[in-house]
Chain A
Amino acid sequence: MMGPNGIQPAVATPGAGLCEVPPFLAAHSAKAGGTTIPHGSLYAAATGWAHIAGTPGTAGSLPSAGDIPEDHIPGVALPANLEKLLGFGRTFSWWPLLFGLACCAIEMMATAGPRYDLSRFGMEAMRASPRQADGMIVAGWCSIKMAPRVIRLYEQIPDPKWVLAMGSCAISGNIWDTYHIVQGIDSLIPVDVYVPGCPPRPEALWDGLEKLRDRVRVSRHAYDGLRQIPARVAIGE
């Protein structure tokens, strides 16, 4: 029995209730522990579990692969209360990718430093591996040579993920309408929050991160509406 992503859905025992740790949470904690989980398995796990616990009256009957419609978008069937709980938890443990492109990264470091102290919001653990991160702060201009690496890093971050474009260069290319700069990082990857400035002061980034936390709290991602990565669309994949 294969899920919509070609990944086997999580198997739950009949009568499994809310009190047990669902596979979704197990997968989430595995991520924090540094275990690499394949792209999409988080959603497959969530889907498999939600089909049992989220549908009253069907407890005891396991869903088979045939029950999942072809056009099913995984990850939307979680009970609202659990979604809220997860969002609340993620709000205080959002770990950005340790990744700076240009001068904006200096302000990002200042934000993480003791004066502004990102650790107050549980964001101080900037992960050096995209597989342990919850999103990325694109801090600075992205050169065209760098673009494939940025996309690769973004795609390696497990779902759910959020992206913050920091500074005018990441947003629009700023004055660098030249031969070597990507004119806005949102032409490559979906962006959640834009923080203007050249570079933005730590207060501005902090404000942007607060806006991002609002989105994390209600589990809204930039790719909710599209589920597509602009760079992939551009090359017809």
Chain B
Amino acid sequence: MESSTQTTIEIPEAMESVFAKVEQRFGEKLLGTSFFRGELSITVAPADWVEVAAYCRDEPSLAFERLDSLLGNHYPARKDRPFEVVAHLTSVSRTARLRLKTQLAEGEKAPTLTGVWASAGWDERETWEMYGIVFEGHSDLRRLLTTEDFEGFPLRKDFPLRGTVGGRIRTDLKGKI
């Protein structure tokens, strides 16, 4: 799915300028690029994560001013870096989309994007809750969709599909009702 920046690939016309601009600015820092159905995905190292995101937002010719969503992925087959954080950017003014990815090892922390888009706070909370990816610098990393006494990270591939944790109700209702 992913190919290096050196290979020549068909670049959709709409994304050509975006790709050229990002490549010109970061060059070697782009670990991988892929196109799928006219959409561009760029993989960067966790250390460059915030810098690339901020550049995509602030550069006038890119103007990806909106963070659509931020999510996680788990690929257990990829032993060295099983986790992935994906940010979907949208440029409302230019009607364009861009996908930023970064790959993480087990236990590796990702820098937070809350400094670039405040709305990343919610998504990072959920990503941490579901995959256990810790976002360094996030001010409020609490569970969002599950109860606070929940244990484990349910969207990891090794999480049991059929849960028996805690019986039929599976939470301590004391003090909540």
A binding-site residues for B, Cβ under 8 Å? 143-145, 147-148, 151-152, 155, 177-180, 182-184, 187-188, 231-232, 234-235
Contact = CB atoms under 8 A, between A and B. Distances in A.
B163 A182 contact: no
B148 to A, nearest CB: 10
- The interface centre, meaning the residue of B163, B170, B177 with most chain A CB atoms within 10 A of its CB, is B177
A148 B168 contact: no
B159 A235 contact: no
A2 B160 CA distance: 54
Contacts of A231: 169, 173, 177
Nearest to B145: A145
Contact of B176 (A148, A180, A183): A148
Nearest to A151: B177
A234 B162 contact: no
B46 interface: no
Interface in B21-54: none
A148 B169 contact: no
A222 to B, nearest CB: 17
B154 A187 contact: no
B169 A155 contact: no
Contacts of B150: 179
Contact of A144 (B152, B162, B169, B177): B169
Contact of A147 (B154, B163, B169): B169
Question: Chain B contact residues (Cβ within 8 angstroms of A): what range?
Answer: 20 to 34
Contact of B154 (A152, A155, A179, A235): A179
- The interface centre, meaning the residue of B150, B170, B171 with most chain A CB atoms within 10 A of its CB, is B170
Nearest to B172: A235
A147 B173 contact: yes
27 contacts: A144-B169, A144-B170, A145-B145, A145-B146, A147-B169, A147-B171, A147-B173, A151-B173, A151-B177, A155-B177, A177-B163, A178-B154, A179-B150, A179-B152, A179-B170, A180-B154, A182-B168, A182-B169, A182-B170, A187-B168, A231-B169, A234-B169, A234-B173, A235-B172, A235-B173, A235-B174, A235-B177
A145 B171 CA distance: 9
A148 B177 contact: yes
Nearest to B149: A144
Interface in B73-110: none
Nearest to B151: A179
Contacts of B118: none
B14 interface: no
A232 B163 CA distance: 23
Contact of B146 (A144, A152, A182): A144
Nearest to A180: B146
B162 A178 contact: yes
Contacts of B173: 147-148, 151, 231, 234-235
B161 interface: yes
A184 B167 CA distance: 12
B161 A144 contact: no
Given A151-B173, A231-B177, A234-B173, A183 B165 contact: no
A188 B170 CA distance: 11
Contact of B147 (A145, A151, A232): A145
B133 to A, nearest CB: 18
A155 B154 CA distance: 31
Contacts of A183: 168
Nearest to B143: A145
B87 to A, nearest CB: 25
